[in-house]
Structure 1
Amino acid sequence: MLSTTSASDSGTTEHPARLLPALGRVLRAPVLVLVLWLLQLFVAKLMALAPRVAASASMGPWRWFVDDHRLRAIAELFADNPGVVASLAFNTLASAILAVVFWLVAAPALIVRLSGDRAQRGPSALIGACGRQLGPMITQSAYGLLFRGLWTGLALIPLTFLGPWAVPLAVVIASFPVLVLDRARVAVVLEGARPYHPMTFLRAVGQIARRPRWWLGGAVIDTLKIGIGVAALGLVISAKLDGSAGLWIARGAGLVAVLAGMWRIAVAVEASPAGHQAQQPRPDSPEADAAS
């Protein structure tokens, strides 16, 4: 924790939520990006084992696809073997739950690392932050889940009346609760905001609503992440790439997703006064002596 009083409680002026400096925070943490990406690949490989075994058992010796009929063959496999579909559905649900649990546990470490605090970069300090802030992260995420349910209903309204033309507006609306949760988490971890109080989350709602550039920038980052994932999938399908090339395209899209997720969190850190305070040299540090 870098401050004992939140910006919203103390009246401190917030910093702009600038996208490029926030991206710089992410790029200055390449080891963290690499670790998260490799962890993502390991979990993906682990979660793919059960569906792969089920599909191999169902196909028997016919474990190949004609390039011109690959999608049709997969559809036939699913239609004839409900066990494969059940295994895939279960693993997809388990992966989603695992991702939620991971971000709950790891969010404090990511926020502290992206703040640039030199005294909190060590593994023991980051793990300690995760342990101390687990309860607050669960609480604020629970508020966020309720708020996201309400806000998702609002995002569906323009789609109902305007159809596909309303997709950009729906994406902007749907991104709002995600950014609010980012802001609430940063306030708790860096600014000492009340960790279990709903007003911490409600203040974050007001702070994002008053700053449309932050809101729009977060929507652009999420759209970029989703767009690259869809484009990668389309490229693999349309180009009829072999297994190795398609796999590496998927892995590259996963790396982009990690970068985009960290970038969005870094925007919230960039907008926090405590995030800038953490990057300043301490009075007794060599950097401060050199500056003086």
Structure 2
Amino acid sequence: MDDTLATPLSPGAATVPPRKHPRRRTRVFAALRRVLVAPGFVLAIWVANLLAAKLLAGPGRAAARAGMRDWTWFDDGHRIRAVVELLADEPAIAAAISSSVVSAAVVAGIFSLLAAPAILTRLDGQRSLAWIVGAVGRELPAMLVQTGYSLVIRAVCLGLAGACAAGLGPRALPLILLLVSFPVLALDRARAAVVLDDARPYHPMTMLRAVGHVALRPLWWLSGTVIETLKLGVVIAALLLLIEAGPSPISIWVARAAGLAAVILSLWRVALAVEDRGANAP
């Protein structure tokens, strides 16, 4: 071996500083493009949501039909008020609907845990069905642990949001939306770090780094908040339309289309974390 290659640098010799990688900017529409190039995957999630909604709505629908007896719907112009009166007069209907809502929340949480590795893997460009499904089995324990850590962040943010609402009233709505969305975005980042960047799957620092990662990127935080707000607005508007217009085929399909829009918006939010992968990875 040439001895000149092993000659140590003298104390006064100039050294080349390590290269600094520029911080990547949040590319909001590049994240949306990741969703739009996977239409089959989007439709599969939408159909799964429709089937789950149909199953969970069964008890509430049966109780409502029993409570309305010979009536099929409400008269025009008084539907929302009539729904409120029906719930007040028929506690069994209110209980059945409440049970359906709680069940839907539980199912949504379980689905989020199961689907997160598959969603992240597909949005990262992986097309192999075997690899996508295998990601669920490989990463499910880590998803459960990181979700548990995120509950602490969520509790803190909800407490701050409640304090803002109590102190500022309606003027605090933008701040409340930012605080409520923050733990969701941080969990997206932590999950992406585990699934795509080989971060430590069970270590709390993975979640803490994700918190700092989102907090230092205001465009990501703001974009995610806007996306979550749009999703909530779409769902509420579809529900109000269904109540006002009645269970006609058109209104039902409008509600289903709103569900598809909500799926796309949810995937767009997750794609923000995928698009940012490799940048300051934990």
What is the TM-score of this pair, normalised by structure 2?
A: 0.87
SS at 1:196 equivalent: coil
Tell me if 1:35 matches 2:44: yes
Q: Report the equivalent of 1:5.
A: none
Distance 1:254 1:75 in 2: 24
Instruction: Say which structure is richer in helix.
Output: 1
CA RMSD of aligned residues (A): 1.8
Q: Report the equivalent of 1:147.
A: 153
Deviation sequence 1:216-253 (CA, Å, 0-9, x none) = 11111111111222333344455x35522221221121
Q: Report the equivalent of 2:3.
A: none
8 Å CA contact 2:73, 2:246 repeated in 1: no
Tell me if 1:262 matches 2:267: yes
Pick one of 65, 71, 79 that aligns with 2:88. 79
User: Offset of 1:110 from its aligned partner?
Assistant: 0.4
Distance 1:150 1:235 in 2: 35
Distance 1:115 1:14, change over 3 A: farther
Distance 1:133 1:12 in 2: 29
Q: Report the equivalent of 1:24.
A: 33
Q: Report the equivalent of 2:251.
A: 246
Distance 2:67 2:231 in 1: 34
User: Offset of 1:164 from its aligned partner?
Assistant: 0.9
SS at 1:231 equivalent: helix
User: Offset of 1:194 from its aligned partner?
Assistant: 0.4
Could you list the runs of 5+ residues in structure 2 that have no partner in the other structure?
1-19
8 Å CA contact 2:181, 2:228 repeated in 1: yes
- Moved >6 Å (runs of 4+): none
User: Offset of 1:12 from its aligned partner?
Assistant: 6.6
8 Å CA contact 2:214, 2:221 repeated in 1: yes
Tell me if 1:198 matches 2:207: no
User: Offset of 1:13 from its aligned partner?
Assistant: 5.7
Q: Report the equivalent of 2:11.
A: none
Distance 2:81 2:135 in 1: 49
Distance 1:203 1:60 in 2: 56
What is the TM-score of this pair, normalised by structure 1?
A: 0.84
User: Offset of 1:40 from its aligned partner?
Assistant: 0.8
Distance 1:93 1:241 in 2: 24
Distance 1:59 1:236, change over 3 A: closer
Q: Report the equivalent of 1:271.
A: 276
Instruction: Pick the structure with greater CA Rg.
Output: 2
SS at 1:48 equivalent: helix
How much identity, in percent, do the aligned residues show? 48
Aligned residue pairs total 260
8 Å CA contact 2:190, 2:207 repeated in 1: yes
Could you list the runs of 5+ residues in structure 1 that have no partner in the other structure?
1-10, 275-292
Once the two structures are superposed, the pairs formed by residues 34-73 of structure 1 within 5 Å of their partners are: 34-73=43-82
Q: Report the equivalent of 2:100.
A: 91
Distance 1:224 1:53 in 2: 31
